[in-house]
Structure 1
Amino acid sequence: MTTEHADRARMPLVGIGASAGGLQALKRFFETVPDDLGAAYVVVVHLAPDHDSELDAILAHHTKMPVVQVGDHRQEPLRPDCVYVIAPDRKLEITDTAVGASPFEQPRGQRAAIDLFFRSLAAAPGRIFAVVLSGGGSDGAAGAEQVKEAGGLVLVQDTAQALHESMPGSVIARGAADVVLPVAELAQRLARLIRDGDAVAPLATVADP
């Protein structure tokens, strides 16, 4: 294994999926998560394909980490303490030491950008985490299940705290969630998992109201 590959294998990878109501949750997540965990974060949300996205600029106001939009046919090297975000009308996949963007093969309405990314995350070496935040539909549930089967951990926003509960609820219904918490507590728990190797038992621990 080359030094580059060894360094990547040691770097925790955090894939974050969100949709309707997810922007508020993403802001809260990045306001809370420490910026020195040594992890790379990849944010996949549902964006309008025919409009420019300002997601990278928005999130940059809520974290000290660099935020990079991954554009068409680009391969961005994965670096610790860096946030990568999806571009409109593009899919993201982890490709060994980088995250790459490419056009969808599927027509609009049949795309599952979060599932697609989580499936590639499940195949990545090292410590992997899937985070599912507010959203409608079930995109991300099947992919989160694959992350869990691959030995990764799945952290899900408490549906009682989500503006749209369908997406996190679908992950919970599949039994794929390892941790279920409101967003700020979710970010804190992720930090402990990365920094201290916290155990996740008992599974699906929900914060007291």
Structure 2
Amino acid sequence: MTKKRKVIKILVVDDSPVALIILKRIFATSPEIEVVGTAQNGLEALKLIPKIEPDVICTDLHMAFMNGLEFTREVMHEYPRPILVISNSVQEHDTENVFQLLEAGAVDVFPKPETGLNSDYDAIKQELINKIKILSGVKVFTLHRRQINQERQQQLFIRNIQDKLVKNYLVDTPKTILKYPRSAKNIKVLAIGASTGGPQALKTILHNLPSTFPLPIICVQHISNGFLNGLINWLANGCQLPIKIAISGELPKAGVIYFPPEKHHLELDNRGKFVCSKTPAIGGHRPSITVTFNSIAKFYGSSSIGVLLTGMGRDGADGMQAIAQSGGLTIAQNEATSIIFGMPKEAIVLGAAQYILPINDISQKLLMIINN
């Protein structure tokens, strides 16, 4: 007997009656999705959520009384759920809006067709439905309004490291333990890969690294075209390390964070200099995390650290295995703190992750290893 597939219940919030009609019509074409409620602003929607218990929320950004950003913050504090922001104001040039929404807790954004015509909505119908299906399986976390001031956070962070050093800090590890690099002093590079949920995860790690961090950091983040500069600017606000786009022929410098150019793989040549290429996508990705990790493993070997964060699919898993097999250190984000546990899980299944850590512990572990 075939098991009945669970219907994804969604709440649609938009102050445009026309947009509400079109979105409802789009979602009605999928037997796996049911619109269980609509609202014209955030205040109306907040009252509905406990009554209809939606699995996913779709919201516009600009609305009267309570806009999409304010609404997202309230939802993530009171009724945390996956939120997709569907708006005219999350286009490629609206990077500030996009990253404010991601920081507030939205999982993804989806630009409305700029014309608003039915025919244009039809063109993006399947893409929008696919996003809803993906978001229905996403794990979200309550975001609390009260934040400790930055100085207090730094004090607690340093004290936490010291306490864990004294207690010989142990972490949840897979049964197969890979060989630890012979000396932490020999480590020369840190590579980080991420996909869905990655911007928030990267921010958590990078913002907790000091200005004296002694390694180059090479990051690969799957992100829509046109948003890379916005991501870099967003991460740079509050980060103690400079962040830039890698340039072919450039030698990675200690204490600098690098990202590949859009639509380019990032590798190293036999002298350790960057190579930015438009060779074919791997697993649908360019840049590919595995391509970068493989190159890191080949050049740096046991002098490398590879970190694989939240993301859908398996990009980076084989690359992390290459780093592990070369004698490097590997860390995977754990399931409990991953928005999507796809990529880290695949690396763990391969036996490629030496440490499996909550996102808030990864920067601490890196500093402990490097400071030995």
Indicate whether the TM-score tops 0.5. Answer: yes
1:111 CA displacement = 5.1
Task: Summarize deviations over 1:37-91 as a string: whole Å, max 9, x none.
Answer: 3111000011224x252222122113111111125xx222211111001221111
Q: How does 1:37-52 map to 2 (within 5 A)?
A: 37-49=213-225, 51-52=226-227
Q: Distance in 2 between matches of 1:107 and 1:119?
A: 12
For these two proteins, the number of residue pairs brought into alignment is: 185
The 3-state SS of whatever aligns with 2:313 is coil
Q: How does 1:25-64 map to 2 (within 5 A)?
A: 25-49=201-225, 51-53=226-228, 54-64=230-240
Q: Which structure carries more strand by proportion?
A: 1
Which residue does the alignment assign to 2:128?
Answer: none
In the TM superposition, structure 1's runs of 4+ consecutive aligned residues that sit over 3 Å from their partners are: none
**Does 1:151 pair with 2:321?**
no
Q: How does 1:58-77 map to 2 (within 5 A)?
A: 58-71=234-247, 74-77=248-251
Q: Distance in 1 between matches of 2:246 and 2:240?
A: 18
Q: Distance in 1 between matches of 2:282 and 2:351?
A: 30
Which residue does the alignment assign to 2:280?
Answer: 105
The 3-state SS of whatever aligns with 1:142 is helix
RMSD of aligned C-alpha atoms? 2.1
1:93 corresponds, among 267, 292, 304, to: 267
Which residue does the alignment assign to 1:122?
Answer: 297
Q: Is the Cα–Cα contact under 8 Å of residues 191 and 306 in structure 2 kept in the other structure?
A: yes
Q: Distance in 1 between matches of 2:313 and 2:268?
A: 23
Q: Which shifted more, 115-124 or 52-61?
A: 52-61
Mark the runs of 5 or more structure 2 residues left unpaired by the alignment: 1-184
Mark the runs of 5 or more structure 1 residues left unpaired by the alignment: 1-8, 197-209
Relative contact order (C-alpha < 8 Å, sep 6+): which is higher?
A: 1
Structure of larger gyration radius: 2
Task: Summarize deviations over 1:169-208 as a string: whole Å, max 9, x none.
Answer: 1111111111111122111101111121xxxxxxxxxxxx
Does the C-alpha gap of structure 1 residues 108 and 145 become closer, same or farther in structure 2, counting only changes over 3 Å? Answer: closer
Does the C-alpha gap of structure 1 residues 102 and 65 become closer, same or farther in structure 2, counting only changes over 3 Å? Answer: same
Q: Distance in 2 between matches of 1:148 and 1:174?
A: 10
Q: Is the Cα–Cα contact under 8 Å of residues 157 and 180 in structure 1 kept in the other structure?
A: yes
Q: Is the Cα–Cα contact under 8 Å of residues 55 and 85 in structure 1 kept in the other structure?
A: no
Q: Distance in 1 between matches of 2:364 and 2:321?
A: 22
1:33 CA displacement = 2.4
Q: How does 1:13-24 map to 2 (within 5 A)?
A: 13-24=189-200
Q: Is the Cα–Cα contact under 8 Å of residues 187 and 370 in structure 2 kept in the other structure?
A: no
Q: Distance in 2 between matches of 1:162 and 1:108?
A: 21
Q: Is the Cα–Cα contact under 8 Å of residues 180 and 186 in structure 1 kept in the other structure?
A: no
